[in-house]
A and B are shown apart, each in its own frame.
Chain A
């Protein structure tokens, strides 16, 4: 998973605040995926983006969550008005295309809502 950069690695937010998580994909990769991992569970798909486009957001909660992958800069996962249930590890992954290549994960951003 070398090359997929996520920051911050750890983030603490009070209930009601906003959380912004950033992901820079591996060099040459234009496809980004966000997954969420609750404690002692597997990863759950949230959203799949290409540059400037959301391709599949079927795993995103309908409210408070949004994602973008602008032409320039990292992909951003934004969580507004955080609640304690948002506390989780958020992982970004990237791939060079959508044809079935392996996706590689970053080290994750751990969000704690207090």
Chain B
């Protein structure tokens, strides 16, 4: 069945280093992908999104890369800060043109060492 999964459950990085969080998806019909950040006790916070007609999109300190050939999505965080410590989820829409039913991965915990 369709699924979105993250390769590693936890990631520990040194403050100031770059972080790369990877995600695999299996639904080739998905054309919209989102990264969310969730801090303890809070709701998912939108970070960045990308549509399938793009392979890269940059935001402030974050970059999302999409490789449709291998169905792979990654989130790069530049100069990781302690405030970046959280659980990160990738999500896909699963149905072309719609965003009503996002499929989330299980999440990866990013821990930033001072």
By a beta-carbon cutoff of 8 Å, the part of chain A in contact with chain B is: 1, 4, 31, 33, 35, 40-45, 48, 55-56, 58-59, 91, 95, 98-108, 110
User: In this complex, what residue of A is CB-closest to B99?
Assistant: A100
Can you list 13 A-B contacts with CB-CB less than 8 angstroms, sorted by A residue number? A1-B43, A1-B44, A42-B104, A43-B44, A43-B89, A44-B104, A45-B103, A100-B32, A102-B99, A105-B36, A105-B45, A107-B42, A108-B43
Residue of A nearest to B42 (CB): A107
Q: Contact: A101 with B99, CB < 8 Å? A: yes
Q: How far is the CB of B87 from chain A (nearest CB, A)?
A: 9
| Interface residue? B19 (CB, 8 A) | no
Check if A103 sits within 8 Å of B106, measured CB to CB: no
Residues from chain A with Cβ under 8 Å of B93 in the complex: 100
Contact of B73 with A by CB under 8 A? no
Q: Which residues of B are in contact with A by a Cβ distance under 8 Å?
A: 4, 32, 34, 36, 41-46, 49, 51, 89, 91, 93, 97-107
CB closest residue in chain A, given B90: A42
Contacts A43-B102, A44-B104; is A100 near B46 (CB within 8 Å)?
A: no
**Given A91-B43, A102-B34: A42 in contact with B106 (beta carbons within 8 A):** yes
Asked if residues B43 and A105 are in contact (CB atoms below 8 Å), the reply is yes
- Other 17 A-B pairs with CB < 8 A, given A41-B106, A104-B46, A105-B45: A1-B43, A1-B45, A4-B43, A42-B106, A43-B44, A43-B89, A59-B101, A91-B43, A95-B99, A100-B97, A100-B98, A102-B46, A102-B49, A105-B46, A106-B43, A108-B42, A108-B43
Residue pair A98, B34 in contact (C-beta under 8 Å): no
- Bound CA span A100–B46, Å: 14
